[in-house]
Chain A
């Protein structure tokens, strides 16, 4: 890469601050995965449809494959690596485990990062709202039923409150 075209950015990811020199065209997903080695965020389509790369940008879910890393300079990102604390699963992760809401697990980080702000904003969501919230994340293994079940349990147990 040509150095004169690179731009320095500083980003907070899961509470840690990173400063890197990057090409403007670097996708946020590639930045997280290959520059910061946070490979929990997966990439499935690179055109903003599958949702596997969903992360939180200043607390809201976005698709990291259709944002340039340079754009988030000075902002804060949360990824799946930030959910579990001291090896204890986040309650939503635990419910995914209990309800068998994952098979190959490739799409799972994207689902989790979509659901964290969804439950925060919709702590009493019903099934229809849950399914609609999930519709921007594609899963090819589970057929969604157990994911929906896990989110319903999360609502019942007050994960979002």
Chain B
């Protein structure tokens, strides 16, 4: 296949835009069924408390209320949710499974945990009644601080466990102990990363309709994984899978938390519908979203870098604590990602990493765009920056010296990744991306001219350049069905959900390339279990890689069927045929052709028999399951300016050079990168969940949890390097998370650079930052150095 074909590789405008632009698209709360009831969940104000009783008497008497349920009403249906991802096969591993429950029964373990569900004829009335559900509970000390959580005598989130340890994992490569003492330089440093939340503009929601006559359950759910939701609901409710139909409609942003399952609401709302035999809807509101949707990012790393005088990495040791929140349904995915991603694009002969995942009385942690990779990149990049400073090597040069050379691929890293396979980088070529980024950011001129000139005018500019890798496109598998219809349209169905990634266009491009069709004639269906019912979901930057390759495989099968039939009809042989402009034609004879639609009609004849060994129709289903993930990589570079009087930061230039293998649609990939960078900027400088020692969230609104706006996010200069993945026929790698991953590290490096004239010894070891925090870092806090800012 050519590098950029007629459809593949084109900057195609998206098939999905029309409905979204006109307001016709159906999001979860746009779907209405007659006679629908509405649910308001009643949530705990306390982060940790023992429940004595729940009084629903007053609430039940309120107008419009149909039912009020607590855990007691759920009976045998009440059970902890499934462990979605069991621990990977790592030798040195302890793991304690505690998953979320549908409604709190004896204890609440985080502020916002639901303990009752009020069902009423409108959401307004349900909320009126929810205010009258009374919880009698004894507050317990909350487990919030990760280190205090592990101290002897700490209160325990799960009292049946011996401690708050959720897991302990050690992985290593080489033998760090053997080189520790002999390294020229050892750098030890603590790094702290705090929590944010994904804050998709659409909150979550679920609409369930159990039809008692048909004995069928139809569920619309803002999930990234409708097929597993269907299987799980069928099992929990004692139904056959064929009785359950799950649709993930248009979804207003996913970013990870929408692949968490089963959320309490996903368990309770279908059950209520089955109890009442009526459609039941719950739409998460923004306030709930801060408590009810999973979050990420709290870790504390104590890291050590052993490095030679000439700036070559000898080894890295990292010991970290991972904030797990109250439950661990997603197993070890996030901290394993941190552990594996830390290695980065660098040749690290000796690596020792151990972590402890800690239960806390906070919202459960599951992957959110980047999914632990940020932390690893932050630690590694910061260690290199500190080393560069100590060794008086340019920070760009120290990276150059440590990149894995292109001839070393595939590169085995000896640690187990989140997909349970050994981490092996499939392909990569890191230096060209760096050099391109340096050109775009004008590195040399910045150092020699722009920065000193600006400083002479009293302006503080800083530059940052960081590298990262991202494991993408992991298994197990996805499938797709491709069908040429008699009208000439082509349909594609795949099981993953879609949340804005442009699947209706990218998959159409993959198939259009094979079948010679116009992408506008290709109709893609995702996330509807009646259309396609095998698969797992959209996560880990895998949609284009795994489902995209499945579409490719199915299209090839359809092409073979079409070619066989066309060869007969056109009295030619399959290898003489060309597929283009919606027709199949014999090469070199312009009039010997048949349109795809006519061919499809011929393949499904009204008379005559289908010959043995053949199938009717031009349809095929295929699956793709990679042995392991494909490793994408890239470089981000930034120039920013700090107003050192106000500590306000303005981005002057932002460059991303990304390598996600072969690109299906550059427009979409650049959009993913730009959007990812925006989220990374939010994470680095705006978004932080502030909780007090009692586990109370202090900023549960978009007034105080700050998402970056159009004034805060620059237009990224985007460039690509293409190192195809040898693991997949299309050669593509994932791109969904790359924009977010290195931004914290980038900010830290550039801010240090900008602040150097006023704070030469500053080392930034934490994310998120803010003007207030920069002020404290530069001038000390009240206790250590009052009044220094006025000196």
Contact = CB atoms under 8 A, between A and B. Distances in A.
Interface in A102-134: 102-109, 112, 130-132, 134
B253 A106 contact: yes
B711 interface: yes
**How many B residues touch the partner, as a band?**
35 or more
B355 interface: no
Contacts of B199: 140
Given A38-B23, A146-B671, A96 B709 contact: no
A113 B270 CA distance: 36
B716 A107 contact: no
B13 A98 contact: yes
B300 interface: no
Nearest to A144: B710
A142 B675 contact: yes
A88 B709 CA distance: 30
Given A104-B253, A140-B255, A81 B22 contact: yes
Given A47-B702, A145-B713, A147-B710, A100 B671 contact: yes
A139 B678 CA distance: 9
B702 A138 contact: yes
Contact of B29 (A43, A136, A139, A145): A43
Contact of A44 (B26, B202, B668, B676): B202
B251 interface: yes
Interface in B220-265: 250-255
B716 A145 contact: yes
B669 to A, nearest CB: 11
A103 B671 contact: yes
B419 to A, nearest CB: 26
Contact of B201 (A52, A81, A148): A52
Interface string B687-720: 0000000000000011100010111011110000
B711 A44 contact: no
Nearest to B121: A1
B200 A140 contact: yes
Nearest to B716: A145
B667 interface: yes
A146 B674 contact: yes
A41 B23 contact: yes
A105 B13 contact: no
A100 B14 contact: yes
Interface in A7-64: 23, 25-26, 33-34, 37-47, 49-50, 52
Contacts, number: 185
SS class of chain A's interface: helix, strand, loop or mixed?
loop
Q: Which secondary structure characterizes the binding site on chain B? A: loop
A15 to B, nearest CB: 15
B364 interface: no
Contacts of B677: 143
Given A106-B201, A142-B671, A143-B716, A42 B27 contact: yes
- Give the most central of B14, B17, B27, B701: most A CB within 10 Å: B17
Contacts of A44: 201-203, 252, 286
A41 B252 CA distance: 13
Contacts of A81: 22-23
B713 A138 contact: no
Given A25-B124, A104-B499, A138 B709 contact: yes
A103 B501 contact: yes
A141 B199 CA distance: 11
A97 B674 contact: no
Contact of B701 (A43, A47, A105): A47
A70 B32 CA distance: 23
Given A43-B29, A93-B21, A143 B713 contact: yes
Interface in B1-52: 13-14, 16-27, 29-30, 32
Given A39-B23, A45-B702, A81-B23, A103 B710 contact: no
Given A39-B30, A52-B201, A138-B201, 7 more contacts: A38-B23, A50-B201, A102-B17, A105-B500, A138-B709, A145-B714, A148-B710
Interface of B: 13-14, 16-27, 29-30, 32, 63-64, 122, 124-125, 198-203, 250-255, 285-286, 499-502, 667-668, 671, 674-679, 701-703, 707, 709-711, 713-716, 739
23 contacts: A40-B24, A42-B201, A42-B202, A44-B202, A44-B286, A49-B703, A97-B17, A97-B18, A100-B667, A100-B668, A103-B500, A103-B501, A104-B250, A105-B21, A106-B200, A108-B21, A131-B710, A135-B711, A138-B702, A140-B198, A143-B679, A145-B674, A147-B710
